[in-house]
RNA sequence: UGGGGCGUCGCCAAGCGGUAAGGCAUCGGAUUUUGAUUCCGACAUUCCCAGGUUCGAUCCCUGGCGCCCCAGCCA
């Protein structure tokens, strides 16, 4: 059972409802248009859930379209990973897989059309000169001397650009709009540039490539997109988006809407920084469990359901926003609390000897796989004279309020017996290396025969039957809520404790046969899953997805 | 003081002229063989500020203030 909710009302849902009600559209068509120049992250998940969600909820369809107009940055590896991520998140584009590069021929024809209409020209100015001619935010630009070339010359030059006669950067094709527009994207924007590079989807068929602005709206029109949803920074491009739709003989009239991109505290989301973390080996690849990439979150153990819930829960608006990491964390906890079977695992073992328990005796106890859901059944766990408990669950000089194992005090070993600590063994350094205790034989299963209340219950695992494993504890990648804020390099805020690798952890043996996709709760500690890359039989490696809430350690 | 946006609780966010939903966080308290879960309760007389229109304004108007985006042959 998932905990997913219906997305609450937002301005885009309202627009779609209105357009459907008024009959402006019989059905809607949206699209998710990633550029294949990196791996998808949770910010993309917001866009995916929005676009595919709108289509799903209002009976339309959503296309997956690769915005592959810049072969210098794009790779097949990214195309594959993006498809995998979208599928993993739980969305299906069906037959509707497209590439902006599918439309290169049509876009090229439209470029020539613009030249013929005297609305585009070949520019010989260098990039630096163009910048100088562009003007500033407060001053208008100056028209290029090449702006008045004849149609014939423009056409000839553009065709020569296409046929590969010029090197990269030699010339560009620009739209002829308005060099004094207060909107800089209307000051004769570049339409095509020369890039002699093989394209991941169309190979070597082109050496001129359209700019985003010249490709996006027309691609939307070709595909019959009704609602073209992008992030806020494209807002000032909208007049240009519309200029192309007005000027070109396009088959449909899509409309662009913008929403605020996702910002999450304690992480970074920009592709540049993600690339940097990966290429500088600050993290171990795009699927490093500490990254906000979908591949990283998946490997860490986040469920697609929890990410969808998150995307629904954060809402969609137009104001810059920062979502606290606790929202995401709570979404997985909610999902996993409901479905994860429980298990006992000791991460930092401390040997405990039950002195009055018969040597060599072993007892089986029934343990519930889920305390609130009997349908998940029971399992047996073996109890023996020597067990391991968590180092944190013992204290010789306990702080106020501590109700775990402490000399002279009783605690319950979950599902087993009530024990009383009778003494400790220390090494030369004075550290406790072994704890001794006595059990109450009348407390089989964990409840006292006389009904006395035992405040503390701790987890344990039989020393004799325990399975060893490596456990990787992940925490926030950065120690600052906004490492990306500027002035100081974000890498200064890397959290040195973002990964802690524990070896020699002691697990209950039932975990040996765990399904790699199953998330389990190690009671009192958190949710874990096997690392899909590194875990092998007899060399188990667990990843911690998220801790349990802990109101004790907070104090 | 070029243009375009945004401003409702610590963080998100509904609300669209009729008297401030919800989630996360936080703080109590109950139940609990996970200090988990669950459960109850508290948490904006107020919607960036100031005027105005109105019987009535977070929603309309005017004027401020604050923040974000745009000067790639990136998307």
Same domain, A72 and A155: yes
Owning domain of residue A445: 343-465
Task: Report how far residue A171's alpha carbon sits from residue A161's, in angstroms, rounded to the nearest whole number.
Answer: 8
Same domain, A479 and A450: no
Q: Looking at the domain assignment, is residue A554 inside a domain?
A: no
DSSP state at residue A456: -
Domain end, chosen from A189, A224, A259, is at: A259
Task: Report how far residue A434's alpha carbon sits from residue A431's, in angstroms, rounded to the nearest whole number.
Answer: 9
Same domain, A220 and A243: yes
Q: Looking at the domain assignment, is residue A551 inside a domain?
A: no
Q: Which residues are bridge partners to A445 per DSSP? A: none
Q: Are A24 and A65 in contact (CB under 8 A)?
A: no
Same domain, A22 and A65: yes
pTM above 0.90, yes or no: yes
Q: Which has the closest alpha carbon to A48: A274, A328, A259?
A: A259
Q: Which has the closest alpha carbon to A250: A202, A275, A217?
A: A217
ipTM above threshold 0.95 = yes
A330-CA/B9-C1' distance, Å: 20
| Closest-approach nucleotide to residue A33, Cα vs C1' | B75
Residue whose CA is minimally distant from B4 C1': A236
Domain end, chosen from A427, A447, A465, is at: A465
A326-CA/B42-C1' distance, Å: 21
Same domain, A329 and A349: no
| Closest-approach nucleotide to residue A137, Cα vs C1' | B2
| Closest-approach nucleotide to residue A212, Cα vs C1' | B75
Q: Is A140 annotated as a binding residue?
A: no
- pLDDT-derived band at A554, boundaries 50, 70, 90: confident
Burial of residue A293, with CB atoms counted within 10 A of its CB: 0-12 exposed, 13-18 middle, 19 or more buried: buried
Same domain, A293 and A386: no
**In this structure, what CATH number is given to the domain that contains residue A169?**
3.40.50.620
pLDDT tens, position by position, A184-208 = 999 999 999 999 999 999 999 999 9
Predicted local distance difference test score (pLDDT) of residue A7: 78
pLDDT tens, position by position, A124-149 = 999 999 999 999 999 999 999 999 99
Same domain, A410 and A541: no
Q: From residue A486, give the alpha-carbon distance in Å to each of A268, A269, A422.
A: 12, 14, 56
Q: Looking at the domain assignment, is residue A266 inside a domain?
A: no
Same domain, A504 and A400: no
Q: Is A271 annotated as a binding residue?
A: yes
Residue A3 has pLDDT above 60, yes or no: no
Q: Which residues of A are the active-site residues?
A: 35, 261, 271
Residue whose CA is minimally distant from B1 C1': A138
As separate numbers, helices (DSSP H) first and strands (DSSP E) second, chain A gives 12, 25
The structural domain count of chain A equals: 3
Same domain, A378 and A510: no
Task: Report how far residue A173's alpha carbon sits from residue A160's, in angstroms, rounded to the nearest whole number.
Answer: 12
Same domain, A211 and A139: yes
- pLDDT-derived band at A1, boundaries 50, 70, 90: very low
Same domain, A92 and A125: yes
Q: Looking at the domain assignment, is residue A552 inside a domain?
A: no
Same domain, A301 and A154: no
Q: Which has the closest alpha carbon to A493: A284, A268, A278?
A: A268
**In this structure, what CATH number is given to the domain that contains residue A433?**
2.40.240.10
Q: Is A25 annotated as a binding residue?
A: no
Q: Looking at the domain assignment, is residue A2 inside a domain?
A: no
Angle at A181 between CA A179 and CA A185, to 5 degrees: 85
Instruction: Quote the crossing angle between the two packed helices A151-162 and A104-116, to the nearest 10°.
Output: 160
Q: In what order do the strands lie in the sheet with A29-32?
A: A29-32, A61-66, A97-99
Domain end, chosen from A465, A496, A527, is at: A465
């Amino acid at each position: 059972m998932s905990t997913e909710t219906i997305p609450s009302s937002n301005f885009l849902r309202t627009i779609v409802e209105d357009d459907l009600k008024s009959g402006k559209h019989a059905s809607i068509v949206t699209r998710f248009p990633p550029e294949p120049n990196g791996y998808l992250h949770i910010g993309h998940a917001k866009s995916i859930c929005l676009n595919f969600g709108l289509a799903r909820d209002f009976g339309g369809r959503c296309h997956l379209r690769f915005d592959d107009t810049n072969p210098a940055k794009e790779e097949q590896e990214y195309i594959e990973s993006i498809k995998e991520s979208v599928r993993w998140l739980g969305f299906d584009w069906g037959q509707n897989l497209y590439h902006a590069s599918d439309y290169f021929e049509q876009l090229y024809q439209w470029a020539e059309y613009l030249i013929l209409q005297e609305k585009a020209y070949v520019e010989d100015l260098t990039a630096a000169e163009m910048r100088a001619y562009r003007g500033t935010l407060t001053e208008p630009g100056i028209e290029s001397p090449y702006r008045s070339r004849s149609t014939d010359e423009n056409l000839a030059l553009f065709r020569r650009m296409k046929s590969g006669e010029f090197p990269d950067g030699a010339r560009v094709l620009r739209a002829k709009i308005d060099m004094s527009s207060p909107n800089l994207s209307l000051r004769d924007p570049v339409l095509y540039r020369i890039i002699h590079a093989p394209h991941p989807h169309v190979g070597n068929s082109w050496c001129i490539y359209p700019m985003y602005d010249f490709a996006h709206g027309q691609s939307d029109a070709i595909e019959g997109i009704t609602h073209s949803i992008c992030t806020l920074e494209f807002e000032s491009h909208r007049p240009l988006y519309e200029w192309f739709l007005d000027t070109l003989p396009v088959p449909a009239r899509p409309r662009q809407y913008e929403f605020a991109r996702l910002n999450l505290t304690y992480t970074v989301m920009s592709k540049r920084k993600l690339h940097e973390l990966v290429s500088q080996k600050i993290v171990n690849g795009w699927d490093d469990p500490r990254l906000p990439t979908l591949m990283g979150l998946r490997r860490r153990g986040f469920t697609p359901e929890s990410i969808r819930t998150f995307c629904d829960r954060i809402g969609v608006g137009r104001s810059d926003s920062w979502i606290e990491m606790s929202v995401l964390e709570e979404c997985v906890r909610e999902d996993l609390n409901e479905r994860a079977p429980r298990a006992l695992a000791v991460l930092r073992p401390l040997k405990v000897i039950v002195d009055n328990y018969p040597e060599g005796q072993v007892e089986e106890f029934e343990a519930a796989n889920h305390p609130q859901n009997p349908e998940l059944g029971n399992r047996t766990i073996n109890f023996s004279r020597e067990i391991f408990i968590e180092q944190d669950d013992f204290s010789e000089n306990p702080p106020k309020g501590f109700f775990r194992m402490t000399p002279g005090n009783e605690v319950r070993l979950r599902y087993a017996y009530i024990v009383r600590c009778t003494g400790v063994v220390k090494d030369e350094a004075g550290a406790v290396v072994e704890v001794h205790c006595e059990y109450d034989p009348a407390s089989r299963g964990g409840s006292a025969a006389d009904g006395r209340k035992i405040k503390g219950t701790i987890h344990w695992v039989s020393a004799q039957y325990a399975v060893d494993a490596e456990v990787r504890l992940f925490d926030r990648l950065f120690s600052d809520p906004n490492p990306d804020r500027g002035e100081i390099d974000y890498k200064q805020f890397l959290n040195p404790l973002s990964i802690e690798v524990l070896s020699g952890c002691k697990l209950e043996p039932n975990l040996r046969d765990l399904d790699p996709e199953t998330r389990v709760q190690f009671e009192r500690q958190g949710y874990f899953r096997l690392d899909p890359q590194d875990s092998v039989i007899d060399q188990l490696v667990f990843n911690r997805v998220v801790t349990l809430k802990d109101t004790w350690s907070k104090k």
